[in-house]
């Protein structure tokens, strides 16, 4: 009798464990395409990205842009997904000169004063322009989209990144681009 009770307990335990492992996904789509959990609540996710509008991308390597007397930053910024509150994004740039050995030396960092805002539960596509004056030469620029409402997380810092205290907030997207500046 005791053996039957133990076996029944084992069977019930295995069934309960397998139900947990095979639990179906509770994410459902509503009529407007928003994701909800099984209880009808919206799932909030946000993704920000950008592309260089004025880049000529070589077959091999990174984006490339040239300018006369400046680095012409021309971006198309995408803020997609849903969130409970408005989302703010600020552009931050770090520029490095390339030495003869291919090493990078940081020469300039700055955050743009303009902050792009996307209302809660909306998506936005924004054009962004900024001309950064530079002496003639070859540079590598790192362009970051930052959220000034969240603190910067240095756990994801690479050796090319500026110091954590220089960032205006959490990095949500970043890309590098080769820059060639010629005299005016």
For 5-61, the pLDDT digits (tens) are 434 443 333 333 333 333 333 344 443 444 555 566 666 678 899 999 999 876 667
User: Residue range 155-161: average pLDDT?
Assistant: 83
**What is the average pLDDT value for the chain, to the nearest integer?**
79
Find tokens 């950008």 and name the residue. 50
* Coil/strand/helix, residue 79: strand
Tokens representing 112 are 């743009």
Q: Is the pTM of this model over 0.75?
A: no
What domains, with CATH codes, occur in the chain?
1-42 (no CATH), 44-182 (2.60.40.10)
The partner residues of 43 in beta bridges, in order of sequence, read none
């Amino acid at each position: 009798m005791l053996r039957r009770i133990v076996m029944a307990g084992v069977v019930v335990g295995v069934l309960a464990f397998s139900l947990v492992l095979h639990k179906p996904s509770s994410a459902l789509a509503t009529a407007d395409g928003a994701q909800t959990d099984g209880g009808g609540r919206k799932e909030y996710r946000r993704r920000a990205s950008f592309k260089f509008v004025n880049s000529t991308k070589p077959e091999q390597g990174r984006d490339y842009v040239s300018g006369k007397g400046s680095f012409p930053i021309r971006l198309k910024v995408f803020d997609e997904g849903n969130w409970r509150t408005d989302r703010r994004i600020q552009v931050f740039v770090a520029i490095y000169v390339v030495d003869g050995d291919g090493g990078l030396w940081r020469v300039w960092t700055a955050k743009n004063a303009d902050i792009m805002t996307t209302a809660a539960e909306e998506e936005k596509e924004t054009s962004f322009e900024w001309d950064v004056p530079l002496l003639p030469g070859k540079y590598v620029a790192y362009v970051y989209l930052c959220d000034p409402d969240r603190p910067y997380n240095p756990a994801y810092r690479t050796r090319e990144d500026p110091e954590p205290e220089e960032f205006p907030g959490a990095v949500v997207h970043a890309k590098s681009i080769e820059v060639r500046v010629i005299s005016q």
